[in-house]
Structure 1
Amino acid sequence: MYKVVDFFCGGGGFSEGFKLAGFEIIVAIDKWQPAVTTHHANHPNADTRQDDVIRISNLPDEEFHELVLDSEVIIGSPPCTFFSNSNKSGKADKSLGVELIESYLRIVARKYIKKDSILKHWVLENVPNVFDYIKDKYTYKELGIDKEGTFQVKYPSSRVYNAKYFNVASNRKRYFCGNFPEPEEIIKDDSDVRTINNILSYIKEPNENLEEMIQDPNYDFKMKSKDIMDHHYIMEIADFEWKKAQRQKQDKGYMGRMSFPENFDKPSRTVMATMSCSSRESMIYPFIPDEERYRLPTVREIACLMSYPLDYRFYGKSKSIKYKLVGNSVPPKMSFAIAKAIAIAITNNLELPNKYQPIEFDDTKEDFKNLNGDIFHINIEKEKRPTAKFKYHIPYLIVNTFRVELTNKYSNFDNLNFKWNAEIHKSQGKTARTHVPKVDLNIINKEHKEVVKTFIKELQKKIYNANNFQNIYCQTDLKRKEENLFGPYELLDSIKFFIENNIDKKYYKENIHIKNENIEIPYIILMGYYILKESKKKFNKK
């Protein structure tokens, strides 16, 4: 049996794939205690340790080789948060992330150059953005090793792979590099990928069919439903949360629309390490559709989507820790494909275990928190802090990537002196532009002038001053609705409703040249901007 050492082992998804291919996991290292506990419980024969990879990589030779045992394969998943687009829009400091990657490479290189080394293959996994931060090769001296020559890092098989092509019901792209043969993608066409429905139809809804025997959706074994852990509970999402998530998903402005709730006829979106209720990345499932009630997926549901076996346990005292263990991991079936390719390369043959072997847990050693039966109360919305910032556009009014935004970002937040501005925004990223054209009523077509003037007067009757407008914005959705308060969201909604019900769709295609900006701007966008700008004249007064 060939041996594997796993660095940054997390909850053990990378190890699990190699175990399923018949490898023996002998050592696993992680700095986070819940990951160490989870890996040890699910891979009890491995020497799983809580330790620092940077420290290990710099140990003296004798101590280093005593800890990092000889193996035919080394695998590792350095933390990806430094390189993820979701971390400060991809602009987070990368220095520690690069140091962790180079520490892992230093470990692999030291095992390669050891006398009588048995190391044959190694793999590094991370998010696609990491590509630009890993060199094709390093000199040994760059890695802090006193040796001449270079260490090859990127091989022909090094590229971005998508888990959905390895029979994982998740659209999860990850970059793999290292010395390993290219794994075979099982799914050749997007029409054949596994969907959320393919998985959840097996394990049923939470709290249902508890006495029924459930077929694991990924492996050949069954469990009684009530014995499936971390599944039989409900985390319902509050109205104010799912409505915000819906707005972020379907009306982000410069980004494409996303399904709300999740489209069960497609693979899952990338499972994140955090399961928020009110962001664009939120994973939202229907709970009671007829009543517009929604829930978060259970830990077990996302674990199955990531291709973990039904009996795999995630050790954490809270659901957030368990979500993180799943979301940060390598899907076992993706790992299995790589392990299978390596096994064939080593032996020219592959002898897989005859049948999935259920995990035998020693409950006397580890205290497992099962979420089944837990009651999670719906979150209650709190008032926003007095200095809360606002930046949003007229909802669902985007023409050729132009949108009209209302913002308080130019306010004096220290002195609680608020100012509200209207702006026209176009596109995103490097091509993003902000326009504040000088326009008056003449920008409005003759046939629309009177109705626009009347509408602006109606709006101004509902607005008092800029500070009052800020105060209303800081109230909860429920209070604004119950007391019929008119704040930023209500203003933008009113403008959208007015345009939809008073302006023919043919005007959405009309452009107007703005001389002082030297740009063509859609007429309907200029109308929204003018209405917002005129309203601003009122609520910027004390």
Structure 2
Amino acid sequence: MVYKVVDFFCGAGGFSEGFHQAGFEIIKAFDIWDPAIKTHNKNHPSAVPIATKADVQEISLLKDEEFEEVVPDSEVIIGSPPCVAFSNSNKSGKADKTLGITLLKSYLRIVARKMFKKDSILKYWILENVTNIEKYIQEEYTMEELGLSGNDILTVKNEYAGVYKMQYYSVPSTRKRYICGEFPAPVPVVTDDRLVTLQNVINSLGSPHSRENQMINDINFNTEMPGNLVTDHHYIKEIAEFEWKKAERQKQDKGYMGRMSFPENMEKPARTIMATMSGSSRESFILPIENNRYRYPTIREVATVMSFPIDYRFYGESDSVKYKLVGNAVPPKFSYALAKAINDEIPLNNNLNFKKKTFKEDEFVNLNGKKYAIKIEKKKNKKAKFKYHIPYMKINTYRTELLNSFNGEQVEWTVEIHKSQGKNAEVFRELPLKMSFLSDKELTIINNFSDVMSKRIVSFENLQESYRKTSTEKLEKRLIGPDELLSEVKRLIISKFEHYKGDVNIDSIQKEVPYKIVISYYILETIIKKID
């Protein structure tokens, strides 16, 4: 017997793929995004397209007869409702959850309708999502809570519900996901000393272009494929210097956040693949080329990190669409582990051998051979915001920040001392400081430095204008923008005030603040007052 599977919010088909590789039959899938539907159908071909464009909320509310026509009976239902609203990366986890909860309940409503109907064959169902969603899911739901009639109760958090770490299921990623529903526990297949690393992925695929005429190994499914047939890998998209430098700063000196590797740490499983490509953010996935040059990962690299088979194709018109298809997916190797647990519990005796893909000639956009121009830095808009601390100077969670704001068209620059983060965060501004611990010579140094800087900056407006200009233009004209100002203050601190260790008491806020933080605040405040 082969168990049938219906996949809701199917995306590119990662959840389906794991069950397919485990011998289950995917009979229906639903999503709202055209590239996802196309990708799912092309990788899981059948006489009648498996994936259909549909709104899951609308499906959940259909009348019984139409509902049964749209959603076929199956032994297994899987689903991964859109996770953007629940992700900690979206407004630090404070994004509006209304739509996310609506879609979550829609999925649970469908499960309940299939589970509690007469002669139901549904035996297992699984919900996958970001870890933060756990706080928004109840232990169980009454039919009334799901907008249904009857006295049944849907148990959502069984004994195996919880957060699972993908790397222990042979996924080359530290991605973590929350799983709940009705399912047997998936069995981890690797331990900490046997994890699949990013270096393993790079070694298996080879660098872009290097193995076009050789066989390429699929590290996830232990197979191989001629290099010229491996799609979306033989190209290089280089990251512009102004972008990767910004990413480096965000990763290694992001205010209250910890340091991240730059470029990526090859000796561990890869970080979570995001849905958005970026070369200039803390979340950017950056690989080295050579000679202080860096690139985006290829689509095949991120797909392999997510444990997709090497022959899986992503049907998007651009690399950014393909990247989103990969980043939003459920890793197939983890899905396979879930399916195998079901298979072993029955047991179904499914065919667990690797199942290759076959594709007809079609309109697939293969990125191989594509030439990407390096992005050119553009001037920032007139009201570009700035908020950053003195580079690489965080002491006991304290940092000195320079920031701008706008009163109509008028720009204003201010200085603040920040402490800690989250609920413990504190901000101090307009501090009446007594700098009696400084010598007359040191006060003269600060005064002379502030004179020089203020004459070069001239005004708030000029500081904003310098900020708007490109890195090249600022360098050629020796302009002082906010980044350059902070760097100059850092150099002054290192050269003249490095001997100040420990803290000084600030009476006005009743805090012990590191000397260097207080000195840097005083220097910036002095400059700001001179250009105001």
TM range (shorter): over 0.9
Q: Any residues of structure 2 matched to 1:320-331 within 5 Å, and which?
A: 320-331=320-331
For 1:149, the equivalent position in structure 2 comes to 152
How many Å separate the matches in 1 of 2:437 and 2:71? 72
For 1:130, the equivalent position in structure 2 comes to 133
Which of 390, 393, 412 is matched with 1:419 structurally?
Answer: 412
Which of 476, 490, 494 is matched with 2:470 structurally?
Answer: 476
Once the 2 structures are TM-superposed, how far is the Cα of residue 389 of structure 1 from its aligned partner?
Answer: 1.1
Which of 507, 521, 527 is matched with 1:515 structurally?
Answer: 507
Once the 2 structures are TM-superposed, how far is the Cα of residue 177 of structure 1 from its aligned partner?
Answer: 0.5
How many Å separate the matches in 2 of 1:22 and 1:478? 57
How many Å separate the matches in 2 of 1:74 and 1:115? 17
For 2:262, the equivalent position in structure 1 comes to 260
How many Å separate the matches in 1 of 2:174 and 2:478? 43
1:491 aligns with 2:485: yes
Instruction: Spell out, residue by residue over 1:189-210, the C-alpha distance to the aligned partner (whole angstroms, 9 max, x if none).
Output: 2x32111001110111111121
Instruction: Spell out, residue by residue over 1:355-404, the C-alpha distance to the aligned partner (whole angstroms, 9 max, x if none).
Output: 322111123xx421101111111111111111111111100000000000
CA root-mean-square deviation: 1.4
Q: State the one-letter code of the partner of 1:335.
A: S
How many Å separate the matches in 1 of 2:453 and 2:197? 47
Instruction: Spell out, residue by residue over 1:432-455, the C-alpha distance to the aligned partner (whole angstroms, 9 max, x if none).
Output: 101122114425356743433333
Which of 515, 524, 527 is matched with 1:532 structurally?
Answer: 524
Once the 2 structures are TM-superposed, how far is the Cα of residue 461 of structure 1 from its aligned partner?
Answer: 3.0
1:357 aligns with 2:349: no
Which of 394, 397, 403 is matched with 1:401 structurally?
Answer: 397
How many Å separate the matches in 2 of 1:149 and 1:2? 25
Which of 242, 245, 248 is matched with 1:246 structurally?
Answer: 248
Once the 2 structures are TM-superposed, how far is the Cα of residue 428 of structure 1 from its aligned partner?
Answer: 1.0
Comparing 522-531 and 430-439, the one that deviates more: 430-439
For 1:5, the equivalent position in structure 2 comes to 6
How many Å separate the matches in 1 of 2:465 and 2:16? 53
Residue 125 of structure 2: SS of its match in structure 1?
strand
How many Å separate the matches in 2 of 1:318 and 1:425? 41
How many Å separate the matches in 1 of 2:436 and 2:350? 79
For 1:280, the equivalent position in structure 2 comes to 282
Instruction: Spell out, residue by residue over 1:289-308, the C-alpha distance to the aligned partner (whole angstroms, 9 max, x if none).
Output: x2x11100000000001111
How many Å separate the matches in 1 of 2:148 and 2:345? 29
Comparing 488-497 and 39-48, the one that deviates more: 39-48
How many Å separate the matches in 1 of 2:161 and 2:222? 31
Comparing 104-113 and 60-69, the one that deviates more: 60-69
Q: State the one-letter code of the partner of 2:271.
A: R
How many Å separate the matches in 1 of 2:497 and 2:196? 44
Residue 172 of structure 2: SS of its match in structure 1?
coil
Q: State the one-letter code of the partner of 2:354.
A: Y
Comparing 431-440 and 518-527, the one that deviates more: 431-440
Q: State the one-letter code of the partner of 1:226.
A: N
Q: State the one-letter code of the partner of 1:22.
A: G
Which of 437, 456, 460 is matched with 2:454 structurally?
Answer: 460
- Given that 2:116 and 2:152 are in contact with CA atoms closer than 8 Å, whether structure 1 keeps it comes out as no
How many Å separate the matches in 2 of 1:239 and 1:377? 13
- Given that 1:21 and 1:352 are in contact with CA atoms closer than 8 Å, whether structure 2 keeps it comes out as yes
Give unpaired runs (5+ residues) of structure 1.
Answer: none
- Given that 1:463 and 1:486 are in contact with CA atoms closer than 8 Å, whether structure 2 keeps it comes out as yes
For 2:497, the equivalent position in structure 1 comes to 503
For 1:217, the equivalent position in structure 2 comes to 219
- Given that 1:422 and 1:529 are in contact with CA atoms closer than 8 Å, whether structure 2 keeps it comes out as yes
How many Å separate the matches in 2 of 1:430 and 1:296? 35
How many Å separate the matches in 1 of 2:26 and 2:437? 71
How many Å separate the matches in 1 of 2:6 and 2:474? 57
- Given that 1:254 and 1:428 are in contact with CA atoms closer than 8 Å, whether structure 2 keeps it comes out as yes
How many Å separate the matches in 1 of 2:68 and 2:399? 60
Residue 468 of structure 1: SS of its match in structure 2?
helix
Once the 2 structures are TM-superposed, how far is the Cα of residue 503 of structure 1 from its aligned partner?
Answer: 2.7
How many Å separate the matches in 2 of 1:468 and 1:453? 21
State the aligned residue count.
528
- Given that 1:443 and 1:526 are in contact with CA atoms closer than 8 Å, whether structure 2 keeps it comes out as no
Once the 2 structures are TM-superposed, how far is the Cα of residue 130 of structure 1 from its aligned partner?
Answer: 0.5
Comparing 212-221 and 5-14, the one that deviates more: 212-221
- Given that 1:420 and 1:539 are in contact with CA atoms closer than 8 Å, whether structure 2 keeps it comes out as no
Comparing 524-533 and 451-460, the one that deviates more: 451-460
How many Å separate the matches in 1 of 2:453 and 2:208? 47
Which of 56, 62, 76 is matched with 2:65 structurally?
Answer: 62
How many Å separate the matches in 2 of 1:124 and 1:35? 19
How many Å separate the matches in 2 of 1:333 and 1:316? 23
How many Å separate the matches in 2 of 1:131 and 1:446? 59
Q: Any residues of structure 2 matched to 1:25-104 within 5 Å, and which?
A: 25-45=26-46, 47-104=50-107
1:314 aligns with 2:314: yes
For 1:371, the equivalent position in structure 2 comes to 367
Residue 178 of structure 1: SS of its match in structure 2?
strand
Q: State the one-letter code of the partner of 1:306.
A: M
1:18 aligns with 2:19: yes
How many Å separate the matches in 1 of 2:410 and 2:102? 44
How many Å separate the matches in 2 of 1:208 and 1:178? 44
How many Å separate the matches in 2 of 1:141 and 1:483? 68
For 1:228, the equivalent position in structure 2 comes to 230
For 1:334, the equivalent position in structure 2 comes to 334
- Given that 2:173 and 2:305 are in contact with CA atoms closer than 8 Å, whether structure 1 keeps it comes out as yes
What percentage of residue pairs aligned between the two structures are identical? 52
